[in-house]
Structure 1
Amino acid sequence: MEVDESFNNDENVPLSQYSRTSDDIKSMIKLAKLNEKQLTDVTQVLYYGDVESNPDLKLLELNGSLLSAIEEGQTLSFKGGLNEKVVLCTNDQTFEVKEAGISNSLLLIPELKLAQSTSKSPLKSPKNRANSSMERNQNESTGSIDDDELFDPTAERQQERRIVKKVFHEYFECREVKPKFRKLGELLQLTRYSGPENEYCIDRSLLFTFNQLLNTTQCSRREFENGLKKFRAFEFEGRMRVFDIEYEYRLLSLLLGIITENSWPIDGIDRDETLSAISETIAPAPMLQAMFDMYTFPSQQSSSSRCLYTYREEMVCRTIAQNVLQQGTKFHYNDFMDTWQNALPDGFQVQEKYLRGIGIVDRSVANVPCVRTLIEQNLTTSLIDRLRVLFKTRERWTLDEIEPYIEFFANPQLSITSILAKHARAITEKGQRIYVSKHGV
């Protein structure tokens, strides 16, 4: 055996490593039953360095969306706490990262040449550095005369040393998932704003900035911004906050009262006049401004000289409904709808669909439908436990009724109907598909 001293200075190569000679390579070609005349000029010899010295190198499979994001120069972020599954986020998508095994080992070899780039012969090299492996295969099968003329059996083959940096037996695959907002909502609820008189109760260490929450929440930036809108979050003194539901209802009632006092249509609201009509002794100006901006958008009735606003009917109706639907109470359907409608200024029209995710209509009792509260955000994050609660609350559900309580578990690869097909039983009543408990409650 010979030790090539020229490579002993390479920190990745052990001193005892053997360097192949030209005779070794020729012998191996014969053992492999290859025709040396049909091989290119350069032989790349692989040597194993200290493959365990690169534990941080991981193999990640990218789909089209992730590859495009990198090519566009986006920043990809891994997010996940100690007890959370890791996700990979682009600017607008979230992917769950899972480890998967590889049947054959994969070697990481920097500067490895591929195909005919190992040839210096113009007859064996592709024109314009393109890959012409199909043409080369045809020449190999016919035993080209040009190869025979160029081949010198006495010449030593040119060697190029290649070091294996890492051997992979597994890789990470990415699967698109829905943004995980649960943690965002829980963090915001820790410091909900319930009035300046109660601010002394707030633990200041639990107040988070926009970027702190973004780095913690397992979702992309665009999805995070949508999540803040979903939770009706606002920025106050550099920190993200949400209103306590009772305090939010009080402020909304003040704002809606101005509509009645001025007999405004709901699409002709004057912002400055609304805010100035409420004294700061009743509610702080920043809170009123945050509430107004949250519940309104520019109206089509605006002119070049005056900007008017329209209230978001669904958002207003849902907040009022949550105040009417106290926890644990049950209303007859007609009584609830009348109470709900009377709590709103003229111009607003309540609709049953506005109860999505906060209340349910139970028509299981003949001729006496009732309404009860059921807030999705308060339910468990375990699918089996949630289904148990849902079917205990009501025996029969239509798809539209149960959808807001199940969509938390759906993703682009797993639809709501697929979840119900596995964990519930579908029956048909009066031409309508109904879902009931699969194994009983």
Structure 2
Amino acid sequence: MAGEKTALAGKKRAGTGRRKGWVQVLCLAPGPRLVNTTFQESSEKTHASPQQIGTWQAVRRLPSDSRAGTLSDFPGHAPLAPEARSGGFGALLKSPALGSAQSATRPSRCCDMPRPPASRRTREEVDATLQVAKLNAAELLPTVHCLSFGPGTSGAAAGDFCLLELEPALCQQLEAGHSFVIRGDKDEQAVFCSKDKTYDLKIADTSNMLLVIPGCKTAEQLKREETQGNIVHTEIFGFSNNYWELRRCRPKLKKLKKLLMENAYEGPDSHREEDPSRSKYTTEDLLDQIQASEEELMAQLQVLNACEIGGYWRILEFDYEIKLLNHVTQLVDSESWSFSKVPLTVCLQELGPLEPEEMIEHCLQCYGKKYVDEDEVYFELDADKICRVTAEMLLQNAVKFNLDEFQEVWQQSVPEGMTTRLDQLKGLALVDRNSRPEIIFLLKVDDLPEGTQERFNSLFSLREKWTEEDIAPYIQDLCGEKQSIGALLTKYSRSSVQNGVKVYNSRRLIS
């Protein structure tokens, strides 16, 4: 399942600077494969699955106000000294898979080879350089770092480490021992996942070269030492002109339904349940294949009305789901119960001989809200959900349905006491009021492309002009945290007024 390192590379942007308040992380690369790698703080917590390639361990956070840092616990490790910029970096990561801390820090054997003596600058040469640069030595710390490139620098810069920029909240999670996971197949753009969020992972260029210098001390450390006129000759371990950049993105969840529909649950008596070759997925399996955080994945499983059967996540086959719902609504009608107070215990007793109790309770959870009254568990059935799934049942076998006839049949098909409304079908069905007679047909938002541009292309190929009321349910899920439907329409469509109504059409030529 792991993708190649090249899958991590996105569009490079020259001159990209670090965002205020963000920190950067140095990673030592164990090999060309980086996808599905768990970032975590302690090697004792390693839980890499067979699909995971390596585990990264946080060693130490560098001071946020420093230009460099020191990792004295790991000789040979190289803190970062960002050239011509202020601010520090977040944490140095190493891979336990590389061996000991000492050996893990060495990118190649050339670092252990004897090196020719480097020329050493004298104090007089340093003072002369300061005069040429018109700098006042009294305004600077007395310690001077004289930098030189060693024979192993070119090898270290060729990919033995990489920088990862983290927002403060993510850095705090890393320090607290939380895990981060990079997910994606070979044909997918890699994403970076925390416990509850998903980020696009791309490489950004920076005009400021970042130098990796072992043993470089911070200004605060030098002040404490109170050295006078000290010259420190330092060899540069490596350098970088780019770093991994995180951008918050929507989780890529379309694949989830596709995987679960490979083996929809048709009931305990189905012959398919006896076939061991049919695909089944545990939570860990889904986390390994779906590009989403764990919380986002679990939330989508609820949206899909998935249930866990025998340790595997399953989607109920639609006809079986309708069968369970009919059992419940018929029992409510025969017992003259209120839809707002359906007792769980009696439902299980009455319907248990017909279907597994777990399935009856799951159906109640999908179409109702659970609550407790006088130590008894009840469910309040959601009329909108029941009307919606009934409409889906009627529309799935018809290409187009006369709107007036549909509304009449729909109202007759729902339980007595429930009222159907067209606004219950947002994101499920579309009404064409320009046809004569008016028609309605099934158009599920789940069946549309996941990408924003592809979604708009699909919608505009279906209908040339849309009102905001009609198109909103089909693009609502594309909006970011601070993005509105209006902003999306402005970016991906053109507006015009037709018969006094504002409509939107594609900015691109749709074939």
User: Same fold by TM-score, threshold 0.5 exceeded?
Assistant: yes
The 3 A distance-change label for structure 1 pair 315 and 14 is farther
Residue of structure 2 aligned with 1:89, choices 193, 201, 205: 193
- Separation in structure 1 between the aligned mates of residue 456 and residue 397 of structure 2, nearest angstrom: 20
Distance in structure 1 (CA, Å) of the matches to 2:460 and 2:121: 75
RMSD, aligned α-carbons: 3.0
What is the aligned counterpart of 2:145 among 39, 44, 49? 44
- Note if 1:224 corresponds to 2:274: no
Aligned to 1:137: none
Give the conservation status (yes or no) of the 8 Å contact 1:41–1:119: no
Amino acid at match of 1:345: P
- The alpha carbon displacement at 1:102 in A equals 1.0
The yes-or-no answer on 1:394 pairing with 2:457 is no
User: How far apart, CA to CA, are the structure 1 residues paired with 2:383 and 2:234?
Assistant: 67
Instruction: Name the structure 2 match of 1:347.
Output: 417
1:380 Cα deviation after fit = 3.4
- Within a 5 Å distance, the mapping from 1:321-400 to structure 2 comes to 321-365=391-435, 368-381=437-450, 383=452, 386-400=455-469
Residues 173-206 of structure 1: CA distance to partner in whole angstroms, max 9, x if unpaired? 1111112111111111111112232324755462
* Structure 1 residues 411 and 37: alpha-carbon distance in aligned structure 2, compared to 1, 3 A threshold: closer
Count residues with an aligned counterpart.
398
1:250 maps to 2:323 = yes
318 and 167 in structure 1: CA distance in 2 versus 1, 3 angstrom threshold: same
Q: Is the 8 A contact 1:327 1:373 kept in 2?
A: no
Question: CA offsets, 1:48-77, max 9 Å, x none?
Answer: 342324734221222344234335543222
User: 2-side partners of 1:307 and 1:60: how far apart?
Assistant: 49
1:4 is matched with none
Letter in 1 for 2:242: E
Structure 1 segment 98-247 matched on structure 2, within 5 A: 98-115=202-219, 117-119=221-223, 157-195=229-267, 196-200=269-273, 204=277, 206-247=279-320
Distance 2:176 2:291 in 1: 22
Aligned counterparts of 2:426 and 2:112: Cα–Cα separation in 1: 62
Counterparts of 1:422 and 1:335, CA distance in 2: 38
Q: Aligned equivalents of 1:46 and 1:192: distance in 2?
A: 64
Structure 2 letter corresponding to 1:113: K
**Distance in structure 2 (CA, Å) of the matches to 1:269 and 1:427:** 50
Given that 2:428 and 2:442 are in contact with CA atoms closer than 8 Å, whether structure 1 keeps it comes out as: yes
CA gap of 1:316–1:166, structure 2 versus 1, over 3 A, is farther
2:337 corresponds to which of 244, 264, 278: 264
1:417 and 2:486 matched: yes
Give the deviation of 1:262 after TM superposition.
Answer: 0.7
SS at match of 1:348: coil
Are the equivalent residues in 1 in contact too, given 2:390–2:413 (CA < 8 A)? Answer: yes
Given that residues 400 and 439 in structure 2 are in contact (C-alpha distance below 8 angstroms), is that contact kept between their aligned partners in structure 1?
A: yes
Deviation of residue 413 (structure 1)? 6.5
CA deviations over 1:259-316 (Å, ceiling 9, x no partner): 1111111111011211221254x433332232223222224xx522422211123322
- SS for the counterpart of 1:77 is strand
Contact 1:383 1:409 in 2 (8 A): yes
Structure 2 CA distance for aligned equivalents of residues 431 and 253 of structure 1:
45
**Compared with structure 1, are the counterparts of its residues 255 and 29 closer, same or farther at alpha carbon in structure 2 (3 Å cutoff)?**
same
The change in CA–CA distance for 1:358 and 1:257 in structure 2 (over 3 A counts) is: same
Instruction: Report if aligned partners of 2:191, 2:198 keep a CA contact under 8 Å in 1.
Output: yes
Deviations along 1:13-54, one digit per CA (max 9) or x if unpaired, are 751251514355455445544444554332223243423247
CA contact (8 A) 2:156 2:239 kept: no
Structure 2: gaps of 5 or more residues = 1-75, 77-108
Change (3 A) 1:306 1:167: same
Give the match's secondary structure for 2:166: coil
TM normalised by structure 1 equals 0.80
| Superposition map of 1:268-279 within 5 A | 268-279=341-352
With over 3 angstroms needed to count, the CA separation of the structure-2 counterparts of 1:381 and 1:222, relative to structure 1, is closer
User: Residues 354, 116 of structure 1: CA spacing in aligned structure 2 closer, same or farther, 3 A cutoff?
Assistant: same
Change in Cα spacing, 1:20 to 1:13, as seen in structure 2 (3 Å) is farther
Change in 2 beyond 3 A, CA 1:423/1:115: same
Give the 3-state SS of the residue equivalent to 1:88 in structure 2: strand
* Secondary structure at 2:376 match in 1: coil
**Which residue of the other structure, out of 342, 365, 390, is the alignment partner of 1:320?**
390
C-alpha displacement at 1:117, in angstroms?
4.0
* Greater percentage in helix: 1
Q: Which residue does the alignment assign to 1:58?
A: 162
Instruction: Report the residue type matching 2:170 in the other structure.
Output: L
* Aligned residues of 1:78 and 1:89 also touching (Cα < 8 A): yes
Matched, 1:16 2:149: no
Distance 1:435 1:341, change over 3 A: same
SS at match of 1:96: strand
Distance 1:34 1:385 in 2: 57
Query: SS state of the match for residue 223, structure 1?
Result: helix
- 1:40 to 1:296, Cα distance in 2 relative to 1, 3 A: same
1:24-35 equivalent positions in 2, closer than 5 A: 24-35=125-136
Question: C-alpha distance in 1, partners of 2:138/2:459?
Answer: 74
- Give the Cα separation in 1 of the matches to 2:118 and 2:417: 87
Structure 1's unaligned 5+ residue stretches are 1-6, 126-150, 152-156
* 1:108–1:166 CA contact under 8 A, matched in 2: yes
TM-score, normalisation: structure 2:
0.70
The answer as to whether partners of 2:263 and 2:278 remain within 8 angstroms in 1 is no
CA offset at residue 343 of structure 1? 1.6
Secondary structure class of the residue paired with 1:107: strand
Structure 1, 194-203 or 212-221: larger mean CA deviation: 194-203
CA deviations on 1:374-407 (whole Å, 9 max, x unpaired) are 1222233455554444234334322232123234
Larger radius of gyration: 1
Residue identity in the other structure for 1:103: S
User: Deviation per CA, 1:201-246, whole angstroms, max 9, x where unpaired?
Assistant: 7554621111221232222222111111111111000101101112
Q: Is the 8 A contact 2:461 2:510 kept in 1?
A: no
Q: Is the 8 A contact 1:13 1:48 kept in 2?
A: no
1:265–1:347 Cα contact (<8 Å) kept: no
